[in-house]
Structure 1
């Protein structure tokens, strides 16, 4: 019978990965997209075919409409196993299946500790200059394929026969090393040649041995750098040869004089060993490597793409500072490093200093604290040289360049470029609107996410910190899940959260946990239970489930989430001792610069609110996992804790200690009785009005304040708050030229002076969490079932906007929403992919309606909108420009 002419299945994907090489699970989950021009088409069943060992087997026709992270229907895969999988589906009105999809190549990595014969090798050297490891080997002329499985205690770059292996940056990514060390699988078949070959690997301190945190601690995880590498050569006669790190490997000193994530890299090209990564008969001054004790059971395959170079940017202008220094402005605050193309005499030194802003015309380095953020390159001499640091990244927009070998010290056009580095997640979400300042704000949010998703979600990318603060990602996770496919990276990070969690359930304030105060300690007992921070244990997995439809992460993280919530319940918000060490609504603009936790909101109220919030999420998780008894138990606990929270409010819904965040928490977390909500909403709107529609929230209140206003009938107040340009506000930094989201509402003062507070970053995503409201409410695009299987389309126009829109690549395909307002005529355009249902609510209050896949257009007449404020001013050019 002929296949369906209008529907096709795209090549399936596996887990949250871009490709199927080096899988770390024997039962990988598959997903597929269905495309076609048949409106309202729905999958009714599917079949997966597996090609394995030159034979084919199928799952048979499975009656299910699931197409996202579908369970593996075959016997488990073994280590190194290579298979091909393809899919076809049947529709609800079809008697014939679609054509088979193109096949996906799957290959497992080394799934068991005993698959490894490689030993961890080290130079055991105390010199600051970094080591390179080397091994020569011979390849027969009947090679079929070759794989390299590699990781390090530190970060590494590998070359074979002088050619770079892979395109990873700072591999392996930072994990809780005592529990998990990531390795990657590389196909190196094309790197090899018949006869003599050589592999060389540079290793640097990275997070493992480098400086960590603001106290300057080093060697927090260990004193010795290490390399673990296993090359496996498979020949056409099915024989396999393994070249694995061990005592027969050598090491020598490389050209990297020093390298540190905070301080930068010092590279002397005169010291480059021409024979370090190629077969050579030259003089051998290499020393034998030493073998370190190592537990192979901690090795794990990655769950997301690696950190990569994702973009290069040219300077937009050259500045001569008041002190006569040469400054390059790249026009965008970014995270990465600088790439040089230069010629000059041997021994000539070029020094690069990085900063995010200028202060009175000079490089603004005070916010870096003790981080030097300085790279030095010493020329080899002769031909044109190309250089980029290997083992460091910086947060910067401006680079001071000293020693450029020209008369005026200014590099020519094209000689210096910025290389943007971050976890190479697929971009999935866009937002557009008619207000250029709001558009720039959203662009800034995207850039801040890019800069702070580097293996783990960090707080900032520039100063002597760069830690995986749990509170930041708890606030930002919904925004992140819209903008990028970050499910794999955050799922991996959650494994470390659970691994670093105390037996009693306490979650550290940052993950991976390192005691930067007391090196060598693994416990987190010195830290309090921090409400709003440790709740990342519940918020992040629930968000991943809602945004990506991954029930597996709920199952895996459930016990961690329960343990955290039970630990948090051990605190009594009514006891001052329980809230005395809470961060509260961190960086509320009313807090003094030197006391960022001392804001307007009672920390005890924050604690009480998050006790209920995590209980509600645990109950929802339990229901999603069919743990009915657990759900009932946690729902009752949540009811009890709501009664505790109620003590912070009067019976009419007025907070005893009023603040924007107090009301926002009560309203959005649904902590008040129905008769109290109206008063609380009106009081919140009054506080916002009395502030001149300026923001009064910190990390806790900022993600939810516009939701609180919207849900209680104060939409225009929310828009006026969002479009405010005077400080403190989201748009004030934009009017000052910000190109990323700031840590403080006033990180830069209007006179061009950097905020005097000890913590002042110009690239923090937490306050950018308002973008989630912009996606859901301004554009009107939100998930109403896990993974956007059902989509809520409910735009709420307001403020001075005449149009807005958003797109999102869901696990089922691309959704797009756009609206336009001309006079009173509101027009909404919606496009839904196959497999989804849209629930559309127009802003005139008409009844919600359901629509299927395809393109839909809706119109309605609105009341004449009230002009809320003057048109937005032009963007100025002060702090970052």
Structure 2
């Protein structure tokens, strides 16, 4: 088994580095980078600055296929650090002329309901082989083997992109898989996103991306004498039918294990014209098996069905060991919840979510699919006489994202909520940010990721993942600037929806803030402008976006169950608020990318929209039209109402509404992401804590009490009696309401970035809600940041760890500030202070005298 190498699709990759440790007085004031090319040539570049994140490539450009190593050292005014270990960089195929392979498809037409095809060839490797590199892509999804061994652990490659515009290709070092003499190459092709039911979605533009699967493969064999031989797809390759009789992301996989997995290549292939889309190297990490979970229980019904509980709502597939007579059938069905001990299948809608196997009868057989995934906690297995927990596992799949954020508190339910958010994100970040992983949908809804992007960037390194998705957003954006509600686009009719289309501006800005990446703003800048310009056109000279259909504050818990868009919040108020927000962020982005005229233009536009918002929707008494939690939350958090008496009254009205709802949530997707921040910004942190920590319905912890292990689509996806919401749209794995995780890190733990890439921090925990401890860790571009605080009696202690290159301001609960805290370990203490006594918001007065102590 080999692992895919990290490939760069540019001749000028950017460079970042971290320092593991150094003395507290040390600061990088200069740096030196050294490049060693494959031919032994060495290039060195020195600069006198403190930059260490996403530094522009200072050397001559790389050429296609070029491998080189880079190392770095940093220095202050007196001395250099040791050189880093070298990092290897390899450029991909940077020009279309680098490709010699042709796209090929089975000559016999293979339909969507036919057995999955295998394409392959035999090739000979001569003596003196030193390296073998495979470049491969597909229309569909692929599983590639050389000499019977998978070339990687990747699943569903090359993934879902806007196939009309760009198609990814993978690159693998397969040197260890080839050997001198005869060798074989086989690729199994699945429908995937390209041609399955997901591509023929009911509201699709009218046709799937294509009706035929295809393969592009180029294996380059390098010998010691410098020769390069190519094994590339062309008309001489062969095809055959595999034992995968059916495969569809919604419906599952049907596999005949009696058929040789590699198939008899008894048919020809046809060379087809290359797609007009460009070939691109992946920015996003591959989909991999990230964990394997053993079943926690197996219950067998009277009629012999086995109901398996894995204890966690997850995304992936079931791995089952079974034996049986040849041709007997084993069936595995999946569901997220049980009702009266049986799988609850209604939330799947038309998705069958069923894997079937015809056994070969060769003894113990391993049953697991390759071309589908499911969202489930429970599985029903039939066709097996006996089943124990040791016979069955759940393979957890997801994009292989690096974890960057961890949180803990003194409240066990709050910790479980955070864990649920992590699991919900892990399952829905599978090649692209989907809304849900189980039913007949699984689409990249822009509104969901727009509200969740800050939390996502806190929990995992999503820089490449979301950058890749944003490339598709720009590609699928309409000529008039309208952003489809789903990316990649599947809807025939595209409308401009506030809060959904705004992902074009908000998501790039979040990536800039969290990862320090101005490059993403430069790349997406025209897309950002086109969206705001489109909204300005729709709003007209009044600057009020009050026309057109809107999704609004989707899934407001007080909206009619069968009409999730009919929220309390006036759609025009919500739309105009988003117009102001995106114009404001675009003005800032223009300044970052060096467009001062645009910065002035969009800054003035943002002011005009804010003024129009206040004049039309905000009364002198502070009331906002439709008088509900969401409209106040948007206006306060985004500072659409300026400082002064009106803003004070607006904040008080929000707190009053929250109190009237008994501190339960009365917001949908758009309002929930900002409600706690709005309460804090208006001086009502106690109300924010009470809302977060209430267990009454609807609330975050209500679902925890009912046994949730992920975040639900609806606040009442499950009812207290254990029955499932009767609506047609009920998912138990939606991440949108998990946007609260970002607030938990920033306010409860107190870890707040104040400059792009966490270069500057504000460590300011909000002590309240009856919590006695809080902590967070974050792996920033500069290294790991950690904060932990505790209450003990009337005392307070805080410890912090700050990496090299980062400076923090520490704010203690008594309001005292310690600025310019540099890298290292630090401890701060208060002997006595004023704190919230409990969730009810009563305050206990303790001596305000405090003493801050710092030690390294």
> How does the TM-score come out when normalised to structure 2?
0.95
Give unpaired runs (5+ residues) of structure 2.
842-856
Question: Aligned match of 1:626 in 569, 582, 594?
Answer: 594
Equivalent residue for 1:134? 120
Structure 1 residue 228 and structure 2 residue 216: aligned? yes
Residues 386-435 of structure 1 deviation map (CA, whole Å, 9 limit, x = unaligned)? 2321010000000011111x2xxx31332110000000010010000010
Q: Deviations over 1:813-871 (max 9, x none)?
A: 0000111012221111110001100111112111352200001111223215332259x
Partner SS state of residue 362, structure 2: coil
Q: 1:211 corresponds to which residue? A: 197
Which of 674, 679, 683 in structure 2 is aligned with 1:709? 679
Distance between the aligned counterparts of 2:68 and 2:727, measured in 1?
Answer: 56
Contact 2:4 / 2:173 at 8 angstroms: preserved in 1? no
What does residue 26 of structure 1 align with? 11
Q: Matches of residues 351-500 of structure 1 in structure 2 within 5 Å?
A: 351-404=331-384, 406=385, 410-500=386-476
User: Could you tell me which of 602, 618, 624 is aligned with 1:655?
Assistant: 624
| Partners of 1:70 and 1:446 in 2: CA distance | 31
Answering whether residue 625 of structure 2 is matched by residue 642 of structure 1, we say no
State the Cα deviation string for residues 319-375 of structure 1 (Å, max 9, x = none).
245876321000000000011222222112110000001112210110100000000
Counterpart in the other structure of 2:37: 52
CA 1:120–1:864 in 2, change beyond 3 Å: closer, same or farther?
closer
Alignment of 1:4-83 (within 5 A): 21-83=6-68
Three-state SS of the structure 1 residue aligned to 2:707 is: coil
Q: Is the 8 A contact 1:30 1:68 kept in 2?
A: yes
- Look up the SS of the partner of 1:774 in the other structure: helix
5+ residue gaps, structure 1 = 1-17, 277-283, 519-525, 871-881
* Among candidates 88, 95, 105, match of residue 88 of structure 2: 105
Measured against aligned partners, the alpha-carbon deviations of 1:128-150 in whole angstroms (never above 9, x if no partner) come to: 11100110000012001001100
**In 1, are the aligned partners of 2:686 and 2:836 still within 8 Å (CA)?**
no
Whole-angstrom CA distance in 2 between matches of 1:322 and 1:713: 59
SS in 2 for 1:843: coil
Aligned position for 1:534: 501
Contact 2:768-2:838 at 8 Å conserved across structures: no
Aligned partner of residue 742 in structure 1, secondary structure: coil
The alpha-carbon deviation at position 576 of structure 1 amounts to 10
Q: Determine the structure 2 residue equivalent to 1:863.
A: 834
Instruction: Please give the root-mean-square deviation of Cα atoms over the aligned residues, in Å.
Output: 1.8
Give the distance between the partners of 1:654 and 1:578, measured in 2 at CA.
Answer: 19
Kept in 1, the 8 Å contact 2:330–2:357? The answer is yes
Q: Secondary structure at the match of 1:700?
A: helix
Aligned partner of 1:121 among 87, 100, 104: 104
CA distance in 2, matches of 1:216, 1:373: 21
Q: 2:633 aligns with which of 664, 676, 681?
A: 664
Quote the Cα distance in structure 1 between the aligned partners of 2:163 and 2:566. Answer: 35
Deviation at 1:215? Answer: 2.0
Q: Which residue of 1 aligns with 2:737?
A: 767
Assess if the C-alpha contact under 8 Å between 2:768 and 2:835 holds in 1: no
CA distance in 2, matches of 1:248, 1:378: 33
Q: Secondary structure at the match of 1:568?
A: helix
Residue 216 of structure 1: how far off its partner (Å): 8.4
Determine the structure 1 residue equivalent to 2:254. Answer: 266
- Partner Cα separation in structure 1 for residue 59 and residue 276 of structure 2: 28
**Separation of aligned partners in 1, 2:302 and 2:684:** 49
1:548 aligns with 2:533: no
Q: Rate the CA distance shift 1:814–1:285 in 2: closer, same or farther, 3 A.
A: closer
In the other structure, the counterpart of 2:854 is none
**In 2, Cα distance between the equivalents of 1:765 and 1:208?**
25
* Correspondence 1:325-340 to 2 at 5 A: 325-340=305-320
**CA apart distance, 1:626:** 2.5
Moved more, 731-740 or 848-857: 848-857
Say which is worse superposed, 218-227 or 160-169, in terms of deviation.
218-227
Hey, what's the Cα distance between the residues in 2 that align with 1:534 and 1:228? Answer: 34
Tell me, yes or no, if structure 1 residue 603 matches structure 2 residue 571: yes
Q: Residues 53 and 480 (structure 1 numbering): CA distance in 2 closer, same or farther, change over 3 Å?
A: same
Per-residue deviation, 1:100? 1.1
Residue in structure 2 matched with residue 151 of structure 1 by the alignment: 137
Q: Which residue number in structure 1 is paired with residue 850 of structure 2? A: none
Aligned equivalents of 2:269 and 2:657: distance in 1?
66
CA gap of 1:451–1:346, structure 2 versus 1, over 3 A, is same
- 1:800 and 2:767 equivalent? no
Query: 1:9 matched to which residue of 2?
Result: none
Alignment correspondent of 1:294: 274
Q: Which runs of 4+ in 1 moved over 3 A?
A: 18-21, 216-219, 320-325, 573-580
Distance in 2, matches of 1:442 and 1:864, equals 24
Q: CA offsets per residue over residues 232-260 of structure 1, 9 Å max, x none? A: 00111101000111101000000100000
1:187 aligns with 2:173: yes
Question: Within 2, Cα distance between the matches of 1:296 and 1:535?
Answer: 29
Pairing 1:501–2:485 present:
no
3-state DSSP of counterpart to 1:727 = coil
1:470-526 alpha-carbon deviations (Å, 9 max, x no partner): 0000000000001001100100100000000011111000100023xx5xxxxxxx3
Assess, with a 3 A threshold, how the Cα gap between structure 1 residues 631 and 304 changes in structure 2: closer, same or farther: same
**Maintained 8 Å contact 1:40/1:834:** no
Q: CA deviation at 1:668?
A: 0.5
Q: Which residue of 2 aligns with 1:522?
A: none
Name the counterpart of 1:728.
698
Alpha-carbon distance in 2 for matches of 1:47, 1:866: 53
Contact 1:209 1:220 (8 Å CA) reproduced? yes
CA distance in structure 2 between the partners assigned to 1:571 and 1:21 by the alignment = 43
- Hey, what's the Cα distance between the residues in 1 that align with 2:370 and 2:663? 46
Distance 1:696 1:653 in 2: 19
The yes-or-no answer on 1:673 pairing with 2:653 is no
Using the TM superposition, give the Cα deviation of residue 115 of structure 1 relative to its aligned residue in structure 2, in angstroms: 0.7
For normalisation by structure 1, the TM-score amounts to 0.92
Cα contact 2:45–2:58 (8 A) shared by 1: no
3-state SS of paired residue (1:572): helix
- Cα–Cα, structure 1 residues 322 and 708, in superposed 2: closer, same or farther, change >3 Å? farther
Is the contact made by 1:829 and 1:858 (CA closer than 8 Å) also made in structure 2? yes
Native 8 Å contact 2:321 2:366 kept in 1? yes
